[in-house]
């Protein structure tokens, strides 16, 4: 069998051409159906995105990306940060930096959403720009799943209200600064996902319980954002079955269980769902149908869906991957599983990935290696 990495060519060009059609997403649209997946780059030592960050995103916008979803950015709460050199989405200087990034990306013809982040019980008191504050999660000691030594504090009602407000302020700031929408990071085992996951949410109040009840924290965030930004501002919600703590974990074993998580989010006012997987083409519930997670998300909610995971590369993971054919896109595309395809590492490696894919030149794209994470080119 010829490896996927060697098969790129005219079939890929035909598939990529379909991605270059404008995405019609109901009340709004994108110039192409390709999004840049959110990727933390840890290049903002003072929490401020500097002009080099704007240039990095602008190059991808010029390269045919229709929507830039920025690296995760911290909301304004002392418990939100874990890692250093992550940009903030609060404070005058950081927001001025983001306004500059927004202008650069839109000037190149793409739309841009900031991704809003609270790292939950990944935080340890010695981590992040402000030391001495414990990590918080839905329940105490959820750090058993993060391999960290310090216990995590269960969030009080006051902390929940403060954090809901911090998300909403960030979304309102994004709207005021001229961003095209926002994305909430509700995936990968961070704070919002910890509320979804029964192993990390053992609360007995209204934020715990069955799957629908465990969505309440996310629902309150979405509702409060809607109160501040109105009904039309695009609001993407990223969710995942997998967790940083465990790639094999699943929030939903059946489509009905998936609906229990997604329906409350839709009712609360989410306008786009971003189904984060590591291999987008895999059937999510193989006993039911060969639909992908994105396909199920679309079928169950009817909302515009972003699909992601492994586009243009031959393996998942953070270390290295070679360019690979887009052939696996054919079925999900034909079936209408998704509206927008998010591309992560392939675009990090090569800002012209989209244009090269359109020309059937994927095999000429720069391979992805973890060495590239040191640079912002």
Ligand X SMILES: Cc1cc2nc3c(=O)[nH]c(=O)nc-3n(C[C@H](O)[C@H](O)[C@H](O)COP(=O)(O)O)c2cc1C
**What's the start-to-end Cα distance of the chain, in Å?**
35
Catalytic residue, candidates 56, 57, 167, 190:
190
Nearer to ligand X, 70 or 143 (CB): 70
Nearer to ligand X, 18 or 39 (CB): 39
* Binding to ligand X in span 224-243, by CB under 6 A: 238
* Binding to ligand X in span 170-199, by CB under 6 A: 185, 187
Query: In this chain, which residue has its C-beta nearest to ligand X?
Result: 344
DSSP code at position 147: T
Angle 255-268/293-301 helices, nearest 10 degrees? 60
DSSP code at position 243: B
Nearest-angstrom CA–CA distance, 63 and 57: 10
Residue ranges of alpha helices (H) inside the chain are 10-19, 51-62, 92-107, 157-176, 191-196, 211-214, 216-229, 255-268, 293-301, 330-335, 345-349, 353-358
Using CB under 6 A as the binding rule, whether residue 276 contacts ligand X is answered as yes
CA distances from 217 to 72, 165, 308 (A): 19, 12, 25
* Binding to ligand X in span 42-71, by CB under 6 A: 71
- How many residues touch ligand X (CB under 6 A)? 23
* 368 labelled catalytic: no
Span interacting with ligand X, options 11-19, 33-41, 144-152, 258-266, rule CB under 6 A: 33-41
As a dihedral over the C-alpha atoms of residue 284, residue 296, residue 239, residue 13, rounded to 10 degrees, the angle is 80
CA angle, 341 then 41 then 343, to 5°:
10
CB of 193 to ligand X, least distance (A): 10
Using CB under 6 A as the binding rule, whether residue 310 contacts ligand X is answered as yes
Using CB under 6 A as the binding rule, whether residue 39 contacts ligand X is answered as yes
Using CB under 6 A as the binding rule, whether residue 72 contacts ligand X is answered as yes
Nearer to ligand X, 24 or 364 (CB): 364
Q: Which residues pair with 183 in a beta bridge?
A: 115, 236
* Binding to ligand X in span 102-141, by CB under 6 A: 115
Nearest-angstrom CA–CA distance, 127 and 149: 12
CB of 78 to ligand X, least distance (A): 20
Span interacting with ligand X, options 45-53, 96-104, 284-292, 309-317, rule CB under 6 A: 309-317
CB of 57 to ligand X, least distance (A): 13
CB of 31 to ligand X, least distance (A): 20
Task: Enumerate binding residues for ligand X (CB under 6 A).
Answer: 37-40, 71-72, 115, 185, 187, 238, 276, 308-311, 313, 316, 318, 343-346, 373
Q: Which residues are identified as catalytic?
A: 190
């Amino acid at each position: 069998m010829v490896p996927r990495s060697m098969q790129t060519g005219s079939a890929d060009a035909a598939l990529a051409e379909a991605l270059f059609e404008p995405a019609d997403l109901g009340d709004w649209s994108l110039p192409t159906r390709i999004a840049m997946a959110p990727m933390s780059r840890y290049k903002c030592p003072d929490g401020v995105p500097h002009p080099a960050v704007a240039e990095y995103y602008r190059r991808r916008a010029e390269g045919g990306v229709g929507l830039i979803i920025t690296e995760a950015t911290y909301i304004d709460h002392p418990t939100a940060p874990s890692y250093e050199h992550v940009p903030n989405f609060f404070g005058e200087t950081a927001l001025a930096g983001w306004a500059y990034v927004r202008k650069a990306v839109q000037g190149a013809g793409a739309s841009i959403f900031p991704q809003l982040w609270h790292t939950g019980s990944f935080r340890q008191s010695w981590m992040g720009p402000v030391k001495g504050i414990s990590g918080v999660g839905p329940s105490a000691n959820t750090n058993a799943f993060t391999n960290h030594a310090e216990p995590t504090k269960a969030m009080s009602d006051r902390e929940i209200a403060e954090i809901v407000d911090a998300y909403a302020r960030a979304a309102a700031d994004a709207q005021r600064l001229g961003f095209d929408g926002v994305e909430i990071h509700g995936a990968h085992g961070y704070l919002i996902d910890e509320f979804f996951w029964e192993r990390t949410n053992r609360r007995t109040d209204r934020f715990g319980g069955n799957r629908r009840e465990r969505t309440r924290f996310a629902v309150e965030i979405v509702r409060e954002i809607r109160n501040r930004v109105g009904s039309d501002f695009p609001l993407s919600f990223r969710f995942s079955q997998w967790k940083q703590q465990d790639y094999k974990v699943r929030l939903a074993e059946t489509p009905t269980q998936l609906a229990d998580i997604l329906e409350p989010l839709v009712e609360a006012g989410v306008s786009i769902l971003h189904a984060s997987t590591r291999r987008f083409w895999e059937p999510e519930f193989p006993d039911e149908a060969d639909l992908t997670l994105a396909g199920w998300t679309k079928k169950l909610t009817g909302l515009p869906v972003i699909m992601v995971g492994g586009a243009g590369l031959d393996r998942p993971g953070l270390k290295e991957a070679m360019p690979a054919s887009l052939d696996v896109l054919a079925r999900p595309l034909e079936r209408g599983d998704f509206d927008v395809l998010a591309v992560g590492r392939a675009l990090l490696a090569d800002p012209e990935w989209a244009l090269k894919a359109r020309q059937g030149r994927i095999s000429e794209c720069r391979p992805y290696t973890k060495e590239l994470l040191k640079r912002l080119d």
